[in-house]
Amino acid sequence: MTDPQPASVYDLAHEDQAENLATFAILVDNEPGVLHRLVGLFAARGYNIESLTVAETDRKAHTSRVTIVTRGAPQVLTQIEAQLQKMVATRHVQDVTRDPNGLERELALVKVRGLGAERVEALRISEIFRARVLDTTIDSFIFEVTGASSKIDKFIDLMRPLGLVELARTGVLSITRGVETV
C-alpha cells in the first residue's frame, strides 16, 4: 500500500474551495530583476495577480514597496506568503487583509461622456461618492475617485449607463494604522 501523493502547489491553487482575497505588502531591495522574480513566482505556480503596485519608498535604504492582491484558498495564501518570505530580495511580507489595522485604498480616473440628464446624473453620483472633477468639457467629465476597491467598482457600475468611455485604475495600495511599519 502506497501513501497518496501530496497535493502539488498547482493542485492546491485550483481546488474547488472557497477563495479568499489577500493583499500582501512586501518590502524588497530596490534592484534590477526583483519585480520579474516576484511576478515569476506567481506565474510559475499558476497564481493570478489581481492588482500590483510598486514604488521606491526609501532611497537611502534602496527599498521598494510592492502591494500584490491575489485570490486563493486559505492554505494557498499561506503558501504564497511563505514563498514570498523566502525570496532573497524580500525584507518583509505582511498580509494586510489579516491585519485588523490594515487599510487599503485605490484610485481611479473615470471619463464619462454625457449631455442633458445623463450629465446631471453623473455629477450627482460623483458628489455622493466624493469624486473630484479633474476635467470638464461641454460633453464629458474626468472624475478622480479614491477609496476601497468595492467603492470604485460601484462608482464605475453607476457610470456605465451614463456614458463611461474610459477608465484607469492604480491598483490597491495598503498601509497599517498606528506607528508600526512594514
Question: Mind listing the domains of the chain with CATH numbers?
Answer: 10-98 (3.30.70.260), 102-175 (3.30.70.1150)
- The residues, ordered by sequence, that sit 6+ positions from 134 with a Cβ below 8 Å of its Cβ are 109, 142, 143, 144
Alpha carbons within 13 angstroms on the beta-carbon side of residue 58 total 11
Identity of residue 31: E
Of the pLDDT bands very low, low, confident and very high (cuts 50, 70, 90), residue 181 is confident
44-54 average pLDDT score: 92
Structure-block grid coordinates of residue 7:
497535493
Structure-block grid coordinates of residue 161:
449607463
Alpha helices per DSSP H over 45-110: 74-86
Q: What is the pLDDT of residue 4?
A: 47
* Distance of alpha carbon 146 from alpha carbon 108, whole angstroms: 6
Query: If you average pLDDT over every residue of the chain, what do you get?
Result: 89
Residue whose C-alpha is closest to residue 42's, from 71, 73, 7: 71
Q: Is the pLDDT of residue 91 over 50?
A: yes
Cβ atoms of 171 and 52 within 8 Å: the answer is: yes
* Distance of alpha carbon 94 from alpha carbon 116, whole angstroms: 48
Of the pLDDT bands very low, low, confident and very high (cuts 50, 70, 90), residue 88 is confident
Cβ atoms of 163 and 115 within 8 Å: the answer is: no
Of the pLDDT bands very low, low, confident and very high (cuts 50, 70, 90), residue 136 is very high
